[in-house]
Each structure stands twice: as C-alpha cells, then as structure tokens.
C-alpha cells in the first residue's frame, strides 16, 4: 500500500480531498457581508451579462477589483433566471442575496428573465429574439457602460453562446457606444485570452461567500468548492497562453482569464497586442481604461 514514506506527495493529494470534505459543511449564505459591499460607488458603469444566476460570481474576479480599486459601478444583468420554470423566482432570490453580499447592483431583464437565449433562437423565433435584443439594447443605452463582460463565442453551454450572440446584436443597435468587451470563459476555454487577472485569497473568499448564496445549484453540484482549484489552474494555463509559450509563470495564487476587445465599427477589435498579466498590486482601472 502506498505511504507517505514511499510517496511524499500522498499527504499533499489527501489535503485537497480533505478540503472538499470540510467545505461541504460550510453554510450556504446566511452570514454578514464584508464592509466593502456597502461602499457606494459613483464611477463609470460596468455591466456583467450573466447567462445564469451564479455566473456573476464565477467570473467575478475582475469586476470585483474594478469596483473596489476603481470605484466603478458594477451591475449584474441577469439574462436568464435559469431554465427551470419552477425555480426562477427562487433563483432570483438567491441571486439577490449573492449580489447584495458582494456589492453588485442587479438588473433584471424581466420578471422571470429571458427565455430561449440560445444560438438557434434568432432563426427559429425571430420575434422573440428581436424583443430580447431590444431589452438588452435599452439597458446598454440607459447605463452607457465603459465595459461589458460577456461569455466568449465558444463557451460551450448553449445559453452562454446565446448570451454572446444577444450582446453582439444589441451592441449593433446601441449606436454611439464603444465599450470594452471583456469576454469570459467557464464551460469552454478561450483559444486566445489576452488578460490574466490575479485575485488575493481574501477576494477569492469573497467570491465564494457570494457564490454560496446559490444554494439550489450548489446542492446539485458543489462547484463552489472547486472554484479555487479552477482559479489556480488558470495561473498554469495563463502563464503560457497569455504570457507566451515557454514563459515563466507569475507568482499568482489565483487568477481568471479574459479576452479584452474594443467595440468599434460594429466589430470586436483586440484592445492591445499580446497579453497582459494584472497582478493584485496593480490598479485594474488604470490598466484597462
């Protein structure tokens, strides 16, 4: 039988399993938010287009930093409230708890969110798609965002793909806007991210604290307990795909990968050439805007 004497990495591997086991006993929300969540921000507006409730926390490393470091107003746009009709209002309540806890404002796209936000809907139900595009266009024009977070075009999940297409169609109708479009990933990796953003242990803990409010989804699949490992693996991957093949890995503990483009002339143009690595000691607002 394997032992730590024969393999010094056994205890190391066991510690990861032990963390997962311990994490299952942690609460789903119900604890006081950090002081930062109550700080009122009056800076430029950032919109996070969330295909589902919980996406705002999963990809929230950079939005959280923009709020805390740059005083920017972060609005989470709930594109859908999930596909389960019986759970839509329950998921809204969970989402409100998560946003209140982390300090993001919440924008609903309807009482129950939008439905059928998938790639095929534009052709199969053009009137429904046009109405959905109109709702998002109004949100863009009302809030005049300087940056919009949206899933990238190959993020696997059909609602994530639909949200990307919906955003592009709405941008084409929102004349006069030229925001940064910050593409995110979760289900499918981006082939060419150009930004890796570090988060501190405290920031990761706050993202987990907010995410823990999505109890219904986490009881089905405890992906919140795996989020730190995902953010650690982003450092491994980002060192190569953002920093350059064969480059030295930065001394980041946790990170999220993004692709930053500028919306100009009705198309996406890379905001810079090459890749950037945004350490926790650097100001996110100054680095992007």
Residue 41 has pLDDT above 90, yes or no: no
| Domain coverage including residue 168 | 42-288
Going by their DSSP bridges, the two strands 45-50 and 73-78 should be labelled as parallel
Q: Is 210 or 6 the better-scoring residue by pLDDT?
A: 210
Which residues, at least 6 apart from 258, have a Cβ–Cβ distance to it below 8 Å?
62, 149, 182, 183, 184, 185, 193, 194, 195, 196, 197
- Is the model's pLDDT at 4 over the cut of 90? no
CA atoms within 13 A on the CB side of 171: 26
pTM to 2 decimal places:
0.96
| Domain assignment of residue 4, yes or no | no
pLDDT in tens, 160-175: 999 999 999 999 999 9
The pLDDT assigned to 37 comes to 75
Percent of the chain with pLDDT over 90: 91
Q: Does residue 68 fall inside a structural domain?
A: yes
The CA distance from 285 to 283, in Å, is 6
Asked whether residue 226 is domain-assigned, the answer is: yes
CATH code at position 80: 3.40.50.10320
Domain tally for the chain?
1
| Per-residue pLDDT at 7 exceeds 80 | yes
> How far is residue 142's CA from residue 139's CA, in Å, rounded to a whole number?
5
Match 């019986």 to its residue by tokens: 86
On whether residue 37 sits in a domain, the answer given is no
In a domain, 3, yes or no: no
Residues of the chain with pLDDT > 70, as a percent, come to 99
pLDDT digit string, tens, across residues 214-268: 999 999 999 999 999 999 999 999 999 999 999 889 999 999 999 999 999 999 9
Residue 247 lies in a domain: yes
SS3 at position 250: coil
Tell me whether residue 186 is in a domain. yes
Q: Say whether pLDDT at 1 is over 70.
A: no
- pLDDT tens, position by position, 80-123: 999 999 999 999 999 999 999 999 999 999 999 999 999 999 99
For the residues 69-89, what does the mean pLDDT come to?
A: 96
Which residue's structure tokens are 């929102």? 174
Q: Which residues touch 253 (CB under 8 Å, ≥6 apart)?
A: 198, 199, 200, 201, 232, 235
In a domain, 88, yes or no: yes
Q: How far is CA 203 from CA 69, 96, 225, 252, in A?
A: 12, 19, 15, 13
pLDDT digits (tens, 9 = 90+) for 134-166: 999 999 999 999 999 999 999 999 999 999 999
């Amino acid at each position: 039988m394997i032992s730590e004497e024969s393999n010094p990495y056994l205890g190391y591997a066991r510690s990861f399993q032990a963390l997962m086991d311990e994490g299952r006993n942690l609460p789903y929300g119900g604890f006081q938010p950090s002081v930062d969540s109550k700080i009122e921000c009056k800076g430029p507006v950032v919109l996070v287009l969330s295909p589902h409730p919980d996406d705002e926390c999963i990809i929230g490393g950079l939005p959280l930093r923009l709020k805390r470091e740059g005083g920017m107003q972060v609005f989470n746009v709930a594109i859908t409230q999930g596909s389960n009709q019986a759970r839509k209002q329950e998921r809204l309540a969970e989402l409100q708890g998560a946003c209140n806890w982390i300090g993001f404002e919440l924008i609903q796209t309807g009482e129950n969110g939008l439905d059928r936000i998938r790639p095929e809907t534009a052709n199969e139900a053009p009137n429904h798609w046009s109405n959905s595009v109109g709702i998002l266009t109004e949100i863009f024009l009302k809030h005049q965002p300087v940056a919009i977070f949206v899933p990238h075009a190959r993020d696997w999940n059909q609602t994530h793909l639909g949200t990307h297409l919906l955003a592009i169609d709405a941008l084409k109708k929102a004349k006069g806007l030229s925001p940064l479009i910050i593409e995110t990933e979760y289900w499918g990796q981006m082939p060419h991210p150009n930004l890796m953003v570090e988060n501190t242990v405290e920031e990761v803990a706050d993202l987990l604290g907010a995410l823990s409010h999505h109890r219904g989804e986490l009881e089905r699949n405890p992906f919140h307990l795996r989020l730190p490992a995902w953010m650690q693996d982003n450092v491994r991957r980002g060192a190569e795909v953002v920093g350059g093949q064969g480059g030295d890995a930065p001394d980041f503990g946790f990170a999220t990968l993004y692709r930053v483009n500028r919306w100009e002339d009705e198309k996406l143009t890379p905001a810079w050439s090459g890749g950037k690595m945004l350490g926790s000691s650097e100001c996110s607002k100054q680095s992007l805007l």
